Amino acid sequence: MSNRARVYLDHASTTPVLPGARDAALRWTDAAADPARVHTPGREARFAVETARDRVGDLLGVRPRDVVFCGSGTEALNWVVYAACGLTPKSKGPWGDRVLVSAVEHTAVLDAARCATEKAGMRLDVLDVDADGRVLPFDVPESAALVAVQHVNHETGVVQPVAEVLARCRAAGVRLLVDACQSVGIPIPEAEAVVVSAHKRGGPSGVAALGLGRRFRLDPLLVGGEQELMRRAGGENVAGACGLAAAIATPWPDLVPLRDVLAAGLAEMDGVSVLGGSVERAPHIVCVTVDGIKGEALLMGLDNRGIACNSGSSCSAERLEPSHVLIAMGAEADSSLRFSLGWPSTQADVGKVLDVLPGLIRELRSLGG
């Protein structure tokens, strides 16, 4: 089956590049211009990077000088966690004695927190969530080095109460890291450190942005150069920065009506439960569990019928192991499907899912799941 005939509903993993973002990136893809140089091509490249930084700063609500371009959201999130634990090359020590992370964080945060706290001999507190996947109220110890609570969950689309968490963190004088990589179509929340990724928003792969609060000083994770205002060594990705800036400046269509039609149709199917349906969710993600059927079987069955979606953790396609997010919520972790919409998604895409899935469920149940 050709790609043209397929329905792609895995935009939360990566979404096609927007035309404007592609044009902005291509302008610099073949350019021989190092923004660290003072000759004319270098100055032109520097102007392009700083213009992109201005645009990204506007999105994140931070000063342009407090935006750092990174190679991925994973890099940026790891960087903040390792810095908090005093494990960056120029670190003078950890910021506190423990790190607090929600149980439903992306593995880029959870795995980094486990590795960093163990290496630094620090305590890791994993914060419980309710049945909808929202972090439960918790105390913030003044001795904490860092709190990490994502904005939008990458599997369920559930929006976390970041403003409440930020208020508790500030009262305790503790820094808050927010993974906003899935914050598509909704405002980015305020935090001391916030991360967005280009390829989730219609920009090119291989670039992300870390926005820092005014009083947030971060030791570099990569050393050996003075790029990114001496915060991240290595040649700057001019094409990526321009593509990211163009993507975030492009409004997405309102996906809420499509999401709601999809969620309502799925909820009417036998044994299908929509996760997080009673709380605030992002416009582009619908996650369900299907009683008695393995997610892998559903995923492959839909793929064979021309529908691409996701099952399990967004970064574990090689393992297809049960989702730690759904386990934390007390949901059926091995029978999940995640449908995620993007800027090209249409009513026809949603309609095909609602037409195809009931028959697939009946077929798989007749075969014993």
303 and 204 in a common domain: no
The angle subtended at Cα 164 by Cα 187 and Cα 64, nearest 5°, is 45
Report the percentage of the chain scoring pLDDT > 70: 96
Percent of the chain with pLDDT over 90: 89
Cα separations in angstroms, 56 against 96, 210, 247, 277 = 30, 9, 10, 31
Token couple for 282: 């992002």
| 214 plus 94 within the same structural domain | yes
Average pLDDT over residues 23-52: 93
**Better pLDDT: 98 or 323:** 98
Planar angle of CA 118, 124, 129, nearest 5 degrees: 145
User: For the whole model, what pTM was predicted?
Assistant: 0.94
Instruction: Name the residue with tokens 């609060």.
Output: 213
Q: Do both 32 and 166 map to the same domain?
A: yes
Q: What is the CATH number of the domain that holds 58?
A: 3.40.640.10
Which one has a higher pLDDT value, 229 or 98? 98
Cα 102 to Cα 32: distance, rounded to the nearest angstrom:
44
Residue 216: the pLDDT is 85
56 in the same domain as 36: yes
Does 169 participate in catalysis according to the annotation?
A: no
Estimate the share of the chain in helix, then strand, then coil, as percent rounded to the nearest 5.
40, 15, 45
Nearest to 176 by CA among 92, 81, 262: 81
Which one of 248, 282, 298 terminates a domain? 248
Longest dimension (CA), the chain: 70
Q: Please indicate, yes or no, whether residues 158 and 37 belong to a single structural domain of this protein.
A: yes
pLDDT at 54: 97
Q: Choosing from 70, 115, 181, 315, which is the catalytic residue? A: 315
User: Considering the chain, what is the average pLDDT of its residues?
Assistant: 94
**Residue 320 or 82, more confident:** 82
Domain of 284, CATH number, reads 3.90.1150.10
**Helix (H), strand (E) at residue 290:** strand 285-290
pLDDT over 70 at 317, yes or no: no
The tally of domains found in the chain comes to: 2
**Enclosing domain of residue 237:** 19-248
- Same domain for 10 and 158, yes or no, is no
- Which band of pLDDT confidence, cut at 50, 70 and 90, is reported for residue 314? very low
In this structure, the answer to whether residues 180 and 314 fall within a common structural domain is no
Confidence band of 277 (pLDDT split at 50, 70, 90): confident
Q: Do you know the residue count of the chain?
A: 369
SS3 category, 282: coil
Per-residue pLDDT reduced to its tens digit, 80-126: 999 999 999 999 999 999 999 999 999 999 999 999 999 999 999 99
Which pLDDT score, from 0 to 100, does residue 312 have?
A: 67
The pLDDT value recorded for residue 1 is 44
